[in-house]
Structure 1
Amino acid sequence: MSETQFSAVLERYRPCLDAAATLGRFWSQADKALAGVTVEGWRAPGFSPVIYTAAEPPDASVLHFLEDIPRSEEADGNTAIDPRPYLLICEQNYRADQENYDKVMLSNGWQVQEDPLSFNRILPPLPLVVPLDSHVVFRDITRAPMSNDHRDLLTECFDLLPEHIDRIEELYHRSSAKTLSVLVYRTFDATLVAVGTVSILKGRAMMTWGCVHPEHRGMDLHRTLVSGCATVAASHSVCQCWLATRNPLVRRKWSGNLELMIARGSA
């Protein structure tokens, strides 16, 4: 792929990569048809996407390049992250030539996972949707710690350890982005039932670590979280927010999506 071809194709993916780069660093490799973001300490597809932009299957050199990317000592020590190398492939391209994609992957010790990763685009402003029995609190956690109930809900929903929550806080604190949490409380007993986070930098916004307490799912609190994050983004003159998810109940809910297959190499 030439530099000109790569630049043209990259335009499709650049908005979501720019949003992800609120917490990390954008990079590209035209000769490998790769573009991505590196968020140190969170080398995972939803935080540090690595997208293969060509339509035809990658050759072995692309996969070997990804296998050889050095991982920081900090990232290697994060037990919440799958240590295997990964690559994101446009779902449409993969489905159109699945046999050849699978052949290349399997012959090099890689495998395409079944469930796609969606990058959902949200266009602020959105009306803030809050259930009648709830209220929303916004907290600036750019340099401040998360509240204890925020940490507890992340621990329960994502099966994380306290050390993993510490790493999430460190990520927000060392970033140049401004980060705010959106906390949804049940009013009568002040129970935290949902939480999300939005990071903003230079007109871009990325939503991360959104979750709803298991006992309160199915009540459209996801929309409350997203509308809350979009409200924060709009107050900072952001016109696009992005979130990454593999949750089939959340994917494709919003105005624009990138559907990407996750390919994994061996550890």
Structure 2
Amino acid sequence: MHIVNAISELRDAVGAWRALGQSVALVPTMGNLHAGHLALVNEAKNKADRVVVSIFVNPTQFGVGEDFETYPRTEREDQEKLNAAGADLLFQPAVSEIYAPDAKTVVSVSGLSEQYCGAFRPGHFDGVATVVCKLFNIVQPDVALFGLKDFQQLTVIRTMVRDLNIPVEIIGVDTVREASGLAMSSRNGYLTVEEKAVASKLYQTLCDARNAVLAGHLSDQEIESRALLFLQESGFQPDYFSVCRASDLKKADVDDKELVLLTAARLGKTRLIDNIYFSR
């Protein structure tokens, strides 16, 4: 696996692959890799001839008081995992390589970025959309892969790609879960042993709510209220629990068939997000 830090080096490598007629997949990450990230790499290998993985802890998607400085950085371990997984190139730039000191341009997907996680993390999705747009311009991949655990993020990126006519196919990959059902996340490392035992109830709540939606005996509002109450009684501080239309994350109507349940909740000092998407 080739490791580069400069945009020019990356473009030289991708250009050489292009000259051979090879296709390119991109897996953007912030590092501290786990099985969920490696599932993206494995799927990328099925979708393209070459796989580029980026590791970049993006400062513009962290708000004031969030964990940018303390976000887990495990460069050596990540490199070993990616090498074993068969990635072709790791792009690991410094902040100064990605952002000019006087950068003025921000990509914002209005209507999707201000709700759910965006309401609790103002500016977060502007930071995500901007850095992902920049990575697409830098790598110019044929396909890019993202985990479905961050469903709102995936929807923002898909909308950006559509609206800006970016020639990249966006592929969502199913959430990888621990045996307890807890969605794998780099931030799970913040959980204490006791908190981790409770954290699996977030997925349990989603499963129960999905079953309630499919049963059809309760309104979506009742299902949301019961889910929020259960989370609170279990020790979470929930930010939201919503029954949404999968295509645009608007509140689901009774006639909508493709749905996603979105939730975010704090457990101790850790903010967890999860979702389930399904058809009814």
Larger RCO (alpha carbons 8 Å, 6+ apart): 1
Q: TM-score range by the shorter chain?
A: under 0.3
Answer 1 or 2: which has greater strand percent.
1
Answer 1 or 2: which has greater helix percent.
2
